[in-house]
């Protein structure tokens, strides 16, 4: 099977959605399929390359920052992607198109499918659903919502990365949606025992935007500054400077490290030597940071929202809190930091829970959906 993948972000550009697309594309290649990805270009990158067997073509899209996909960048991907997509369809001859995000890449998939008759499978990542990420989608969907239903209705199949994303999408688009959660490479089997770091290492990873709520992190940790810990906040974005200033105002500068935007490999390396993931997000699907926490055996203190509830068994491998209840977050952190035995048990519980999200199983699910779509077309 030949699969053309359309996405407006692909590592090292973008966040979790791009990483999911890369993981699935690489996984399909390992299963014997041919995969061609059409992704955006930034200065210093190669136009055509191989990514672990995946054919990767990058196109100019006015993308200025790796971690921000603004309206100009998305419009550029859509416009230039139309011509590049037609050329790839003629040269690569895909059996099916796999598109990540209904907007903007879904628009491109819909147009190319209408012109060529090639079916497309849509994967929704929450940020492309009205109300999914209000700070972003509420502005866009005022204007584009009347045009999006056809993207969902005309897809050969639609998948969503979490039960929350699926149900939110169904409230706007009454189509059959299959839940296929994000997956994580399990690697070699790990011993189900962990050694705690001294001091305890806490990590936050994600865009410094309101959705991820990074300003909550220093406020949470200021209430437990009498305990022994160090926190690393990985990422960049519009709230990075404000977060850094708040850390200084709270007198926590020597307790925090903010390395800025990091590559996936660098993020994984930090997780390997951490104990707790602190993620006070306002909304989430199933973030790869959460999966990375599970596979590396981190306890998770996070919000009771979206797909995060699928990653945490409250009181076993971490704690779920109301995203606006800072006192609850502070109490959760104090509880887990003061009881080293409970922290160690929570880390082991995360290792056990990670098996549910084995990437090999997830890729096989995508393979089945894509094959059915391509067979129906042929």
- The pLDDT tens digits for 31-46 are 999 999 999 988 878 8
Mean pLDDT of 289-302: 95
Residue 135: pLDDT over 60: no
Distances (CA, A) of 267 to 42, 295, 374: 21, 13, 36
How far is Cα 165 from Cα 102, in angstroms, rounded to an integer?
13
Least confident interval from 62-66, 96-100, 216-220, 328-332: 62-66
pLDDT in the model for residue 71: 64
How far is Cα 28 from Cα 8, in angstroms, rounded to an integer?
19
Residue 142: pLDDT over 70: no
pLDDT in the model for residue 42: 82
pLDDT in the model for residue 214: 97
Q: What is the pLDDT of residues 189-204, one digit of tens each?
A: 555 668 899 999 999 9
Which of the pair, 263 or 75, is modelled with greater confidence? 263
pTM: 0.80
C-alpha dihedral (84, 87, 91, 92), degrees to nearest 10: 40
pLDDT in the model for residue 43: 81
Architecture of domain 200-357: 3-Layer(aba) Sandwich (3.40)
Collect contacts of 237-244 with beta carbons under 8 A, ≥24 apart: 237/67, 237/68, 237/207, 237/208, 237/209, 237/212, 238/208, 238/209, 239/208, 239/209, 239/210, 239/214, 239/215, 240/208, 240/214, 242/215, 243/208, 243/214, 243/215, 243/217, 243/218
Top CATH class of 2-183+358-377 equals: alpha beta
Residue 136: pLDDT over 60: no
In CATH terms, are 2-183+358-377 and 200-357 the same topology?
Answer: yes
pLDDT in the model for residue 282: 92
Tokens of 308: 């995060």
Contact criterion met (CB below 8 Å) for 318 and 342? no
Q: What is the pLDDT of residues 93-102, one digit of tens each?
A: 999 999 999 9
pLDDT in the model for residue 281: 95
Mean pLDDT of 20-25: 95
Residue 312: pLDDT over 90: yes
What mean pLDDT value characterizes the chain? 91
pLDDT in the model for residue 192: 63
Mean pLDDT of 233-253: 96
Enumerate the domain spans of the chain. Answer: 2-183+358-377, 200-357
How far is Cα 90 from Cα 273, in angstroms, rounded to an integer?
47
């Amino acid at each position: 099977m030949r699969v053309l993948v359309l996405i407006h972000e692909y590592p090292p550009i973008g966040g979790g959605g791009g990483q999911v697309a890369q993981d699935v594309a690489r996984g399909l290649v390992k299963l014997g399929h041919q995969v061609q990805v059409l992704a955006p270009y930034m200065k210093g990158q190669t136009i055509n390359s191989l990514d672990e067997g995946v054919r990767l073509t990058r196109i100019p899209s006015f993308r200025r920052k790796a971690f921000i996909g603004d309206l100009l960048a998305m419009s550029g991907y859509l416009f230039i992607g139309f011509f590049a997509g037609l050329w790839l369809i003629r040269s690569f001859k895909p059996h099916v198109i796999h598109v990540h995000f209904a907007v903007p890449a879904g628009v491109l998939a819909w147009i190319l499918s209408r012109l060529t008759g090639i079916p497309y499978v849509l994967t929704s990542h929450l940020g492309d659903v009205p109300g999914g990420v209000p700070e972003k989608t509420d502005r866009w969907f005022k204007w584009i919502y009347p045009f999006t239903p056809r993207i969902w209705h005309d897809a050969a199949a639609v998948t969503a990365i979490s039960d929350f994303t699926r149900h939110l999408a169904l409230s706007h688009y009454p189509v059959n949606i299959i839940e296929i959660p994000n997956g994580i490479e399990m690697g070699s089997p790990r011993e189900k025992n962990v050694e705690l770091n001294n001091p305890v290492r806490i990590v936050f990873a994600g865009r410094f935007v309101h959705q991820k709520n990074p300003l909550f992190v220093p406020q949470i940790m200021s209430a437990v500054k009498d305990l022994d810990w160090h926190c690393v906040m990985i990422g960049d974005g519009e709230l990075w400077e404000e977060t850094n200033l708040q850390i200084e105002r709270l007198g926590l500068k020597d307790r925090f490290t903010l390395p800025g935007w990091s590559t996936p490999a660098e993020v994984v390396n930090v997780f390997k030597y951490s104990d707790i993931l602190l993620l006070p997000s306002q909304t989430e699907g199933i973030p790869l940071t959460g999966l990375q926490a599970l596979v590396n055996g981190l306890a998770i203190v996070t919000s009771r929202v979206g797909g995060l509830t699928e990653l945490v068994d409250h009181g076993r491998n971490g704690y779920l809190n109301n995203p606006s209840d800072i006192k609850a977050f502070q109490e959760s952190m104090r509880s887990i930091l003061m009881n080293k035995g409970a922290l160690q048990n929570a880390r082991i519980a995360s290792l056990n829970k990670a098996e549910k999200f084995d990437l090999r199983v997830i890729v096989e699910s995508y393979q089945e959906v894509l094959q059915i779509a391509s067979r129906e077309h042929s």
